[in-house]
Structures are given as C-alpha cells and as structure tokens.
Structure 1
Amino acid sequence: MVCRTKLVEVKVIVVELVVVVVVVVVVAAAVVVVVVVVVVAAVVLVVVVVVVVVVVVVVVVVVVVVVVVVVVVVVVVVVVVVVVVVEVVVVEVEEVVVVVVVVVEVVVVVVVVVVVVVVVVVVAVAVAVAVAISVAAA
C-alpha cells in the first residue's frame, strides 16, 4: 500500500511538472509571437513612413517640374508674341532692324528659360534636402 501511494504521488508530481513545463513553453511562445508581431509592426510602420515621405518628395518634384514647364511655355509664348508684334511693327521700317530684334528676343528667351530652370532646380533640391533632414531627425 505504501509503495503504491508513493508511486501515485510521484506520478502526480511528474504530471504537474509536465503541465508547468508546457504552460511555461506556451507562455514563452506567446511572448515571442507578441514580440515578433510588435517588431514587424514597427518595421512596417517605418517602411510606410519612408514610402509616404518618398511619395511626398516625388509629388513635390512633379509639381515643381509641371510649374517649370508651364512657366517656360508661358514665357516662350509671350516672347514669341512679342517677337511677332515687334517684327510686324519693325518690318515696315527696315528689315535689318527686324533681324536684330528677333535675335535679341531669342537671346532673352534663352536667358529667361535658363534662369527659371536653375531657380526651380535649386528650389526642388532645397525641398528634397529639407524633407530628408526632417525624416532623418524623426
């Protein structure tokens, strides 16, 4: 009788130990899963922030390029209209003057276009650098 009782007690202790080990393993696995999920969520959040910043930079650059193109087209149209008007007015006076005026107007157009493009590129680079600095600071 005594031996059987001890045997039963030993079996109960072993079962309790197995249950404790299983519970510890399950809790540890749950903790690992939670940590992995949190880390993955953090990485996804960082990736989303980076993607949003990249999209914002791309949109800013596209807007700047569109503005530059519109400004250049407007400047060219205005200068062409001015050249045509000057040409029409000056044609009556003297042909040599017309040629000189047209050449001067073309030079002015080129200079204006170059200045506008340089200004827009500088602004775009400044915006990109500012965004990059703010992202790095964050």
Structure 2
Amino acid sequence: MVSPKAVLGICAGVSATLFIGYCIYFDKQRHNDPDFKKKLRQRRRANKAAASSGKRTNTVFPDMKDHEAVQRFFLQEIQLGEELLAAGDLENGVDHLGNAVAVCGQPNDLLQVLQQTLQPNVFHLLIQRLPAVAPRLMKAQNNASLQEDDVE
C-alpha cells in the first residue's frame, strides 16, 4: 500500500514538471516569434522611460479570448517581474508577477510555485497586491468589449 504522503509527493513532482515544461515550451515559442526582439526593445525603452520619469507603466492586458496573446503576456510578465526583482525593484516586480497571476489559467498552482521560489516578504507583498490587479483586468476587458461593440 502506498502512503498518502508518497502519492502527494508524486503529484506535486508531476505538477511541477508539467509547469516547467509548459514554461519552457512557450518561452521557446516566444523566442521564435519574428517580432520578439523588436517588442522586447520597445518594452525595455518604455520601462526605462517610465522609470526615469518616476511613473509606473499602465499595463495593457491582452484579449482574454486570444489564448496565444494571453500566453505571451503571461510569459512576458513573469520574465519582467523576475528581472525587476533581481534588479531590486520589488514594487514593479511584484506588480508584473501579479499581472501574470491574474491571467494565469491555474493561479493556485502558480502561487504555490512562487511561494516556494520567492522570498517570504516578496511573496507576502504579492499576495497583498493581488486584490488590486483583478479590477484592472476587468476594466481592461470591459474597455476591449466596448471597443469591439463600437466597431460593429
């Protein structure tokens, strides 16, 4: 008979492996995008300009119906959040990770991974910021649907 702890450990290992494989696959897809470097340079210039002016950038959320756009946005936000945290910019790094959690299909799994990888104080800051991300996402989706209605 297999103990429940062993089953739980196996399930956690399989979930972590699937999540890492998912990240690697879509990171490879993102890097193979012909406009990747151009978009990356534009985003870095915009972030640098926003940092020098002291303003936070307004995040443009993707259309949640476009699965590929959501995946690209998710990976970009994770990468940017990690880069900012590594550079010591906790505020903006946590904001970007919060955006990634907001668009993630399985936010609980992502939060478990982040809890294991982030420092406790950074993770608590992320948890505190999450309630503020959902209204911004909803507002962006409402604006997108209003613009679609205007086109028709």
TM-score normalised over the length of structure 1: 0.30
| TM-score of the aligned structures, taking structure 2 as reference length | 0.28
Larger Rg: 1
